[in-house]
Amino acid sequence: MFAFILGCLYLITALATLWLIKERFNIFGFIYNPDNRKILLIFDLPFLLISFAAIIEENHWFLIVIFLMHSLNSLTLLIKPQLFYQSKQEMQFMDKESVNNYLVIMTSVFGVGCLLISYL
């Protein structure tokens, strides 16, 4: 059940990201603005908790990878935020549209993967 909820949450996030891109919202600028650090942590918390519950329910490597990614992201923002914001220079070499597309594709893949796990 938690894998299904996580999959739906990822797909809703992908749709919301597409809507923000359509509205020309600067997602890249929002993510890498240090003032929005608490918002990013609050946004990441449900994914972290639900992925942990999904691992307890169904021990699957895909769910463990998702949990570890969210854990690493949250811990980096909490413990060493300067390390997180240093990656901004690396991301600036990529086109803004490429970063947005990557974000939508990754959340969609995670969503579909979680739904497949819950189905099987």
Q: Which two tokens stand for residue 11?
A: 């797909």
The C-alpha angle with vertex 113 and arms to 107 and 118, in degrees rounded to 5, equals: 125
Q: Whole-prediction pTM value?
A: 0.86
List the pLDDT tens digit at each of the 120 positions of the chain.
999 999 999 999 999 999 998 888 888 778 878 888 899 899 999 999 999 999 999 889 999 999 999 999 899 888 988 877 776 666 666 667 777 888 899 999 999 999 999 888
Give the number of domains in the chain.
Answer: 1
Nearest to residue 23, comparing CAs of 100, 94, 108? 100
Q: What is the DSSP string of 64-89?
A: HHHHHHHHHHHHHHHH-HHHHHHHHH
Q: 99 is in which domain, residue-wise?
A: 2-119
CA dist., res. 73 & res. 106, Å (int): 15
Exposure of 29 by Cβ count < 10 A (0-12 exposed, 13-18 middle, 19+ buried)? exposed
- Three-state DSSP state, 3: helix
Backbone angles phi, psi at 19, to 5 degrees: -65, -40
